[in-house]
């Protein structure tokens, strides 16, 4: 079942509509624990001690300005108890729609269409 990203009108299987226009700014936003921890707590229950943006080539991934191939963009989260979780960008956006400050910062870095 596809999950809807409410404010963007996307579903999880439709990530090809997302274009990252400023990867470095998006990286700074997604790795900002003060801003993003309320969202990341949906994935890991203990305090988040690190968040690192990673990506790899994937035919259903997002388009990134300056990168030739589509990429599956995700954030590797680590909690204080050593647990890790890889949160895909679509999942982060889905949850961020309920956190206006984080959503606003992410939205500055992407285009949808």
Query: What mean pLDDT, rounded, does the chain reach?
Result: 89
Integer angstrom CA distances of residue 40 from 26, 50, 77: 15, 10, 8
Domain range summary for the chain, segments of one domain joined by +: 13-112
Q: What is the pLDDT of residues 92-111, one digit of tens each?
A: 988 888 888 999 999 999 98
Structure pTM?
A: 0.88
2 pLDDT exceeds 50? Answer: no
Greater confidence (94 vs 81) lies with: 81
Helix (H, G, I), strand (E, B) or coil at 77: strand
At 67, phi and psi to the nearest 5?
-115, 130
Helix (H, G, I), strand (E, B) or coil at 107: helix
On the 0-12 / 13-18 / 19+ scale of CB atoms within 10 A, 62 is buried
Q: What is the pLDDT of residues 7-26, one digit of tens each?
A: 555 666 667 888 999 999 99
Per-residue pLDDT, 8: 57
């Amino acid at each position: 079942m596809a999950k809807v990203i409410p404010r963007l009108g996307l579903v999880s299987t439709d990530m090809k509509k997302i274009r990252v226009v400023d990867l470095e700014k998006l990286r700074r936003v997604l790795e900002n624990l003060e801003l993003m921890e309320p969202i990341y707590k949906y994935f890991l229950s203990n305090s988040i001690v690190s968040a690192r943006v990673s990506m790899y080539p994937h035919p259903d991934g997002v388009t990134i300005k300056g990168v030739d191939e589509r990429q599956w963009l995700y954030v590797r989260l680590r909690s204080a108890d050593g647990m890790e979780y890889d949160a895909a960008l679509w999942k982060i956006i889905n949850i961020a729609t309920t956190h206006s400050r984080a959503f606003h910062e992410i939205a500055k870095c992407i285009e949808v269409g």
